[in-house]
Structure 1
Amino acid sequence: MVKDKPTFSILITTKNRLSDLRFTLVKIQHLLLQSDVECIIFDDGSSDGTSSFIEEHFPDIILFRNQFSKGLIHCRNQMLNLTTAKYAISLDDDAHFESDNVLENIEKHFVSNPKCGVIACRIFWGLKFPNSTSTNEIIERTKGFVGCGHVWNMEAWQDIPNYPDWFVFYGEEDFAAFQLFKRAWEIQYLPAILVQHRVDIKSRRQQNDYQIRLRRSLRSGWYLYFLFYPINEIPRRFFYTLWMQIKKRVLRGDIKATFAILQALGDIILNFPKLYRQSNRLKVLEFKEISNLAETKIYWHPK
């Protein structure tokens, strides 16, 4: 059942992670029962029965499915462009809320801060939730937000270009952050909304996708230099980050990282025409202003 003009839309992209998704849906089920909430899930080519499970157990969820995977960013663009809600809550399939009054806090903040384009949530990364969730952090404007837990003011989303799906994975939030800044929208960190991202960060280095994750992470950072930074800032920053990767990884014998760096450099060359055509460069004063903003709040740790 499609709800008529919902206030909130919860957007989740998933692929072959049914156990994670099932856990998330159970944890947020109380939100899904609200009359002003819709949930859209994009199954990006799963082969583990994800779509069948949703259709059977969560028939009110709006389900879309790619027969073959088109990538996380493609799916996020599709869902954000499909919803008619005022506010779009983006969650990973392995993330859920661990705070009360989530919807009330979202709406209250956006109403009180009309230039807020995105709410960045407080995010705890870990499989085991901490005993204490109290924090002395305050609401503040930040440079960016994290993909696994944030909320869009849909007026802001409609005011900027879509995420660049050719990034494939990593960097799309920073791309949006620069575009928002250029259009005078703000990203505001709201610690009252707490998300648990059920990921073991330490184990990622040993996982099979370490090389491809590093490749995509490096190239997305370099893409952003060429898209948004003043031209005089690019050479120094590009070669400094390249040297640091060589120093920290290549010279220490990390073969996977060495290949990832070479592949990321090749991606820059391959996509340079796109970087040139889609650039939206910051002016010098704009660059100074955004550089003075608080850093993106990625990891929250209990005191």
Structure 2
Amino acid sequence: MKELSIIIVNYNVRYYIQQALHSICRAVKNIDAEIIVVDNGSGDGSLQLIKREFPSVKLIRNKENAGFAKANNQAIKIAKGKIVALVNPDTLVREDTFNVCLNYLNSHDDVGAVGCKILNPDGSLQLACRRSFPSPWVAFTKIAGLNALFPKSRLFGRYNLTYLDPDKAAEVEAISGSFMVVKKEAIDQAGMLDERFFMYGEDLDWCYRINSAGWKIVYLPDTEIIHYKGQSALEAPFDNLLVFNKAMLLFVKKHMKPGLSLLPQWILILGIWIRSVVSVTVKFISRHFSVIVDFLLLSVSMVISILIRFSPAGRAGDYFSAYKYIIPVYSLLWLLCLAGTSLYRRRSYNISRTIAGVLTGLILNTSLTFFFPQFAYSRQVVLVSALLNLFLLTGWRVILRFLPNVERVPFLKDTVLSFVKKRVVVAGTGKKSREIITKIENRIKKNVKVVGIIAVTEDDFNIPDKEEFPVLGTVYEINRLVKVHKINEIIIPPDVLSYKQILSVVADTRNLNVDIKMVAREMDVLIGRSVVESIDEISFVDIEYKIYFWYNRFLKRMFDLILSLLLLPFSLAVHVYTTLSPDYTIIKTVLKRPVKDVYLKQLSCNGKKNSVIVETLFYILYVFSGKMSFVGIEPDPDATVHTVWFKPGLTTLYRVSEDLSGSAESKQRYNYYYLRNYSLLMDLEILIKSIIP
């Protein structure tokens, strides 16, 4: 039997776990210990790194994120140590940490678990290293801010036990799950972690049950670790706030029985919901900051314009009461015009698009005064508002760029990351990709930060890392990587990704406000209108897929809906006929797509060639329901959830072309061109060519 089993649950924190394992290996040199790492479906090359650099570590690989509690339980079941240590992958332990914890547990028979002093990277104490259970009173003092006002009070400072000396050992109710050293005997009596807690609250629940089983829990400041708090949570593809609040509600319902406290249970539950509402509100404002600011400024400009126009005559008050609904209508129309320039889709702080949106709104709002009497208003007010909008909407964007320490302003951290300094990743781990990064880094204009490299396949993780260019993950998890690392721009060198992979990247990031640029070269397949940016001798072609613009998708859907509605009676008749006729067989098929699979029925004429008219009318029903389109892309028979998806069509650009080679690469090229250069006129042209070759 081993003296110690160290368990680490890893999820996409490759560089943190590398440092953690190095520190742990140094700390267990004189201890009979085993190290078990449970990987929760990481895609950042963590497994390859551990196998290469730490061959003695036992690895358990889960295909998907099973949660912190379940993953730890998997390791506890095979652990051979008399004492088990749960250690987060984003920690650094001191050389004596495990020795100090083991000596204390072995010399105190009544102690079931210990936790050490945990420091933040800046050297400050991480308050969560010692805690009380969140009873209604403790939770109330936290929510009301009383614990912050009176941290040294035993009455108000119980949440994080801030009244205790951080340099003295103390018996506590709970310790942090980022570093817990527990006797196997205590685990056998209290049970393993409750797997209903996915990522938060499982440590509190475990400590509660260890206490209930008669064991003491001790905070031990004789040794310390550094914890880079929340790195695995940042990498998670789900809403951490939602998971946390569910965990807290589960803990309350499980352990805080009604009648056992002076304050009722509902106060604690109410506190959790208040915290949720506040957090969601802050998150919403941060995410839509530019839209909110623009709408407020548009409304303010209308108010100022009315004052300028009617105050000299003493009629401003009358106009405000008579036209109180006009102000939001005009402001919303201006906001829609700004959105129509894709200002809020990608470049929220682009000055030229802001000016274009304001001028378009001026034309639209001026037309209202001519064609819609109910919205008729002073054209002078509209003109003055437009001038004010040009000044205010562009002005705050310019000021933001030059404001010192602006990232410290509430709601503006993400804004600054995307506006003042773009966060860029480069696809590929080869020499060309690294050369591009070097040129970007050497630019005189330092408005770009290279976050890292995106690998093409998992095999690329076997390439030794360059510290300044970390490999963040693969192109197949680009959606998560963009969210986690707040990426604004993806640069793709030539010959690094196939057309299929490029389409996949575009599809997976189309709603994430990210720019995708390809390094330009002669005779490249990227044709059509593009924006070209030069960095030294490297030119980047800005890829914009017109099919994903909201107004193009709206027009396409309306076209499909109207035309299919006209043909719907014939389609329904064909469905009835083919269902009853013995000459036809209906075959169910599944089309893979990134979010949700699409289920269709295919028509087979029992070995004979289907009638083109019958087959076309059969699929009209799916066009009407939105599962297909009159014009779409060539489906990929090898499609996976990582492959680009757009509606399959009754016809495609490839089918009306002269290229009938049938190769997958050729089909992808035509799909690529269609998505980039889509227009309603192109759909009409393809349809006509399909009917009249």
Partner of 2:100: 105
SS at match of 2:259: helix
Q: Distance in 2 between matches of 1:103 and 1:248?
A: 37
Instruction: Give structure 2 stretches of 5+ with no counterpart.
Output: 125-164, 285-693
Alignment counterpart, residue 55 of structure 1, candidates 45, 51, 59: 51
Per-residue Cα deviation, 1:114-148 (whole angstroms, up to 9, x for no partner): 1111102211123x446xxxx86211111111111
Task: Output the CA distance in 2 between the equivalents of 1:16 and 1:173.
Answer: 21
1:220 equivalent to 2:215? Answer: no
Cα separation, partners in 2 of 1:228 and 1:34, compared to 1, 3 Å: same
Rounded Cα–Cα distance in structure 2 between residues aligned with 1:200 and 1:224 = 20
Task: Work out whether residues 125 and 198 of structure 1, in 8 Å CA contact, stay in contact via their aligned partners in 2.
Answer: yes
1:244/1:107 Cα in 2 relative to 1: closer, same or farther (>3 Å)?
A: closer
**2:71 matches 1:41:** no
Could you list the per-position Cα deviations for residues 169-218 of structure 1 after superposition, in whole angstroms to 9, with x for gaps in the alignment?
Answer: 111111111211221011111111211001389xx9xx697982222222
8 Å Cα contact 2:90-2:228 kept in structure 1: yes
Alignment-derived partner of residue 19 in structure 1: 15
Letter in 1 for 2:96: N
| Mapping 1:226-245, distance limit 5 Å | 226-233=253-260, 236-245=263-272
TM-score when normalising by structure 1: 0.71
The 8 Å contact of residues 171 and 217 in structure 2, kept in 1 or not, is answered as: yes
Letter in 1 for 2:201: G
Task: Name the larger-Rg structure.
Answer: 2
Q: How does 1:108-119 map to 2 (within 5 A)?
A: 108-119=103-114
Asked whether 1:149 is paired with 2:179, we answer yes
Structure 1 pair 65/240, CA: closer, same or farther in 2 (3 Å)?
A: same
Equivalent of residue 93 in structure 1, options 89, 97, 116: 89
Q: Does 1:254 align with 2:281?
A: yes
Which of 8, 24, 44 pairs up with 1:28? 24
Distance 1:30 1:81 in 2: 25
| 3-state SS of 1:86 partner | strand
For 1:167-206, list aligned pairs within 5 A: 167-199=197-229
Change (3 A) 1:185 1:243: same
Question: CA RMSD for the aligned pairs?
Answer: 3.0
Of 104-113 and 208-217, the range deviating more from structure 2: 208-217
Deviations 1:207-248 (A, max 9, x none): 697982222222222212221223224895543234445556
Residue 7 of structure 1: CA displacement? 0.6
Q: Which runs of 5+ in 1 are unaligned?
A: 258-303
* Larger RCO, structures 1/2 (Cα 8 Å, 6+ apart): 1
Counterpart check, 1:120 vs 2:147? no
Q: Work out whether residues 28 and 98 of structure 2, in 8 Å CA contact, stay in contact via their aligned partners in 1.
A: no
After TM superposition, the structure 1 = structure 2 runs for residues 289-300 of structure 1, keeping only pairs within 5 Å, are: none
- Are the structure 2 counterparts of residues 117 and 239 from structure 1 closer, same or farther at C-alpha, using a change threshold of 3 Å? same
Structure-1 separation of matches of 2:90 and 2:63 = 22
Q: 1:78 aligned to 2:71?
A: no
Q: Look up the SS of the partner of 2:181 in the other structure.
A: strand
Deviation at 1:109, TM superposition (A): 0.6
